[in-house]
Each structure stands twice: as C-alpha cells, then as structure tokens.
Amino acid sequence: MAMNYEHLMQLKSEGQRFSYTDRETMLYAIGIGLGRDPLDENELPFVFEREALKTVPTLATVLTRMSVLKDSGFDYSKVVHGEQRLSLHRPLPPQGELVASSRVTEAYDKGPGKGAVIYTETKVDSAGDGKPMFTLVSTTFARGDGGFGGPAGSGPAPHVLPDRRPDGSVTLETRKDQALLYRLNGDRNPLHADPALAKRVGFPAPILHGLCTYGTACRALLAEVAKYDHTRITGFDVRFSSPVYPGESIATDYWVDETVVSFRCRIPERGDAVVINNGRCQLAS
C-alpha cells in the first residue's frame, strides 16, 4: 500500500493502557549508562531501590509502544528517526499505570525522491488519577516516500544553539554491547544487533538506538546541570543528525540560559561528527 495523505492524517490510537515497574525504571537507567560505577552515590538511586528510586526523565520514551504508523504505507527499510521531543507535566514515578493516545499531527511532502516528514504526538495520562503525565512528539523521515500528495514544508524550525562558546562539555563512553542491552527496553529492531543486516543497509556494524543516544545526552545534563535532581528536567528536545556506533564516546556540549539548556552531541573518535543537534533541555523554574 502506497502512502496516502488523507489516510495518513486519519491514523490514531486511543486509550491504550501500559504499565511499568521499578524493573523497567532501573533497566532503562542501566541501558543509558548509569551505574557503571556501582559505588557512585549520585547514580545509585537510579539503579538501586534502597530508598526512593529516581527516574531518568527520558524514561518516558520507552514506557509506551504505540503503533500508529504501522499502516501508513511507507517503506520501512528507508525510515529514520528525525526528531524527538518530550514534555513532562510532572516527574515520573518509579512505577505506574498509564493511558496513552497517539495521532498523526502533520505530514509534509518534500517531493519525489526527496522523502516525507511525518509528525506523531502521543499524550500520556496516569491511569490512577487521569491527569497528564507527559507528551511525546516524534518526527519520522520516510526517505523513500516523497510525492505522496501531502503539503510542502518541513515543520517547525529547530531550536537554535547560542552563538558563543559552550558553557561546558561532558564526554561519556558507550559500551560495545550497549545496543544489545538497550534493546531490552522494547526496541528489538535487528539493525541494532545483527551485523549482517547492518552491512546490507549500508552500515559497517549495528548502530546504537537513536533514543539511547538521546538518553545518554539526558544523562550528561542530569549530572552536569541538574546535579542529579531528576525533577528539574521538564522537557528534552533533539534533532538526530548521524548514528552512533556502540563503543564510541559521546561528547555533549551545553549552554545554560536561565531555565533553558541548549546542547549538541558529537563523536570525538570520528572528527567530532555531530550526532544530535539543536538540543533543548527545559529546566523547572
């Protein structure tokens, strides 16, 4: 089935229920690198339930698995994750019951041979009190589906980084087996595990999940800017620009302007190739 604009804009899923426990909370934290030093008292509360377990804000991206685009008609072999946005309406509890609804909000046709850009929004409430927990907005770039009859355009402009030297930078290592660990959060795409498949689609080796890179950037700012106070981060938006290979280091440069932290991520081992750009982290006032 070829992609069709009218059909695409009608895609939605409502009232799906999800649950998670402290197991998923700790597995996510370990999957993005927290707890590497088991004696680090700053990181231990994210991976050990000794006292009140803390939650990494970007845990929100793995708590629901909505398949609203499964019948979109685009070529899955040529799809990449373009952007991810997160708005937290309150801190995530370490376990909970959720109700989620998702829909396509925008779809732009860049023309034949140039691809399509599709925006989906997922709103998630607590099943307990019915109040909002978080909102996710994802951008899918369907490289093989331009010319489907949608409007021209590219969506909202990305966040602009300040025109000055970064206020700080932190470099975090990834493990060679990190994609195998992170995929246990729910994304079993074989591109992140199968060497033969990775080579067939043009990569020398399996790549790290984009959302693992996203979580690693959050881990960096959680430590450096929020001082491990997970309740301070209320928003986290990025634009993905290049893949990361497990075992590489991710350097996060950041700029602090009151409650807005701008950031980008680069790979020192590959000539500072930028892998996340136009990053915006919102802090609670």
Model confidence over 114-132: pLDDT tens digits? Answer: 999 999 999 999 999 999 9
Q: What is the pLDDT of residue 154?
A: 79
SS3 14: strand
DSSP string over 267-282? EGGGTTEEEEEEEEEE
The pLDDT score that the predictor gives to residue 155 is: 85
Task: State mean pLDDT over 257-282.
Answer: 98
208 CB neighbour count, 10 Å cutoff: 22
Domain boundaries, the chain: 5-142, 168-283
At 205 the pLDDT is 96
Q: What is the mean pLDDT of residues 47-68?
A: 94
Residue type for position 282: Q
Residues serving a catalytic function are 187, 192
Domain 168-283 belongs in CATH node 3.30.2320.50:
no
According to DSSP, the residues that pair with 107 across neighbouring strands are: 118
Please report, rounded to a whole number, the percentage of residues in the chain having pLDDT higher than 70.
99
Compute CA distances 203 → 45, 148, 282, whole Å.
37, 28, 34
**Residue length, the chain?**
285
pLDDT (average), residues 179-208: 94
Q: Give tens-digit pLDDT for 213-242.
A: 999 999 999 999 999 999 999 999 999 999
Q: What is the CA radius of gyration of the chain?
A: 19
Per-residue model confidence as pLDDT tens digits over 9-24: 999 999 999 999 999 9
Q: How confident is the model at residue 142 (pLDDT cuts 50, 70, 90)?
A: confident
- Tokens at residue 113, please? 């041979």
Which residues, 6 or more positions from 215, have their beta carbon under 8 angstroms from its beta carbon?
A: 28, 31, 32, 56, 58, 61
Encode 67-85 in three state secondary structure.
Answer: CCCCCCCCCHHHEEEEEEE
Asked if 5-142 and 168-283 have one fold, the answer is yes
Assess whether pLDDT exceeds 70 at residue 280.
Answer: yes
Domain 5-142 has CATH 3.20.20.70: no
Q: Could you tell me if 119 and 180 are in contact, meaning their C-beta atoms sit under 8 angstroms apart?
A: no
Residue 1 pLDDT greater than 70, yes or no: no
Comparing 90-99, 174-183, 192-201, 264-273, which segment has the lowest mean pLDDT? 192-201
Average pLDDT in the chain: 95
Q: Buried b / exposed e across 161-173, counting CB within 10 Å, b at 16+?
A: beeeebebebebe
